[in-house]
Structure 1
């Protein structure tokens, strides 16, 4: 019988004299496990292919895959290799603390331009620009072979490069909305709370618009402008993420999960699920065993 395991907390040995920690390891390794820590993690795959697990996201990785994982966000990379196969170098990892970022922002005004970058990182980022990833590789090498101020300057150059990448994927589900207006945020908070409470039943555009005293037409435009998503896309995304939780945490039949999270048609559920996760619900359930369960 499979037993659900929680992500392990990992203590990152960040030496007092160093702001940036570098490590590398092969596969298999004791470091390859479902875990989290208080630090940011910049993670470069140098060998093998397999499945990446970050928060509730499951995807694929291959040599050259590059990820940034925020503090306390569980993660794991599981390679698809032979039972006896060993890989000498699979991962290059750079860790740095949120405190380091905060202190840097208090001293260097230029660091404030990265605020949205760190916010995205809290949900995990996969960088997709192959040319800029190639530019990043020698910087990893230089960070690995240096220390002190030289390592720090190479790290800042690397972060500047990655923050400039416009081809990326935010991984774990989020309801983050990059808006500062408190009135808009309050209205959106009402909308999100209503959706979270009623996602498992039919929610119409007219119904939610009435809940926040807007006309359906105005609400539709307001929601798209504020979130970047159409209302129906957001609701379906919420339902799929809830389905992922049940697929990974329970042994409920997939058909039951479909109706429990608010879909009324199994074909539509399967189609929406594949569009968001690039795999079927049954494939997601099987894949989740690799990161989150043990015998």
Structure 2
């Protein structure tokens, strides 16, 4: 809305860094979260220039905050040649669009025209984690969002996030987050 090249201006340097950092998804915590919630509620009733000013204030607050945590620890690599980036981009897009379904290593390795072992090495070298860990992280991130935002029971969250069984979901969630999905939901609801 500010026009092409605005983020290259010195005044927007911190916001440009924030937007780049946010490509991994950000969880806002602590005092910053409370301030942003309040500001966003105010912004809902604004129109025109005041709403744009409020948006810039929110982005400025986030850009200066230390209360931001990446939702996924995936580090994308941008140093590869364009065709390679496109191949990896296609694979990541496929995973992100289809994580609720069963996705096998065989399926994605054939998309990349590689053997499973070659694809596993390739994927890990580009994303810094195994294919199964990445897929698990995507599913757990979705489950956390559903546990926070939706009035769904644990079984519904499990299947909406692509886990084959409730026991598998509970185990993976506890291994990665440190608490069961039920405890996570209860704690979240107590705070908000």
TM-score by length of 1: 0.43
Instruction: Specify which of 153, 173, 180 is matched with residue 280 of structure 1.
Output: 180
1:41–1:280 CA distance, 2 compared to 1 (3 A): farther
Residue deviations 1:98-147, cap 9 Å, x none?
xxxxxxxxxxxxxxxxxxxxxxxxxx35xxxxxxxxxxxxxxxxxxxxxx
Selected match of 2:102 from 202, 207, 213: 202
CA distance in 2 between counterparts of 1:266 and 1:229 reads 24
Query: With CA pairs under 8 Å and 6+ residues apart, which has the higher RCO, 1 or 2?
Result: 1
Displacement of 1:264: 1.2
Give 1:265 deviation, angstroms.
Answer: 1.7
Query: Which one of the candidate residues 210, 216, 233 is aligned to 2:116?
Result: 216
Match of 2:59 in 1: 38
- For residues 151-176 of structure 1, give each alpha carbon's deviation from its aligned partner in whole angstroms, at most 9, with x where no partner exists: xxxxxxxxxxxxxxxxxxxx422644
Alignment match of 1:173 (pick from 47, 53, 72): 72
Query: Would you say 1:257 and 2:157 are equivalent positions?
Result: yes
Q: Structure 1 or 2: larger strand share?
A: 1
Please list every run of 5 or more consecutive structure 2 residues that lacks an aligned counterpart in the other structure: 1-10, 15-30, 38-57
SS in 1 for 2:59: coil
- Partners in 2 of 1:211 and 1:255 — Cα distance? 31
Question: What is residue 22 of structure 2 aligned with on the other side?
Answer: none
Equivalent pairs, count: 141
TM-score, scaled relative to structure 2: 0.64
Q: Cα RMSD over matched residues?
A: 2.6
Rg comparison, structure with higher value:
1
Q: Offset at 1:228?
A: 0.9
Query: Which deviates more, 180-189 or 220-229?
Result: 180-189
- The residue number in structure 1 matching 2:25 is none
Please state how far the C-alpha of 1:257 moved relative to its aligned partner.
1.3
- Point out the more displaced range, 225-234 or 182-191: 182-191
Shift of 1:179: 3.0
Counterpart CA distance in 2 for 1:278 and 1:185 is 34
1:229 has 2:129 as partner: yes
Q: 1:284 Cα shift?
A: 1.8
Alpha-carbon separation, structure 2, partners of 1:234 and 1:282: 23
Gaps of 5+ in 1: 1-15, 20-29, 43-67, 70-123, 126-170
- Change in CA separation of 1:193 and 1:32 when aligned onto 2, cut-off 3 Å: closer
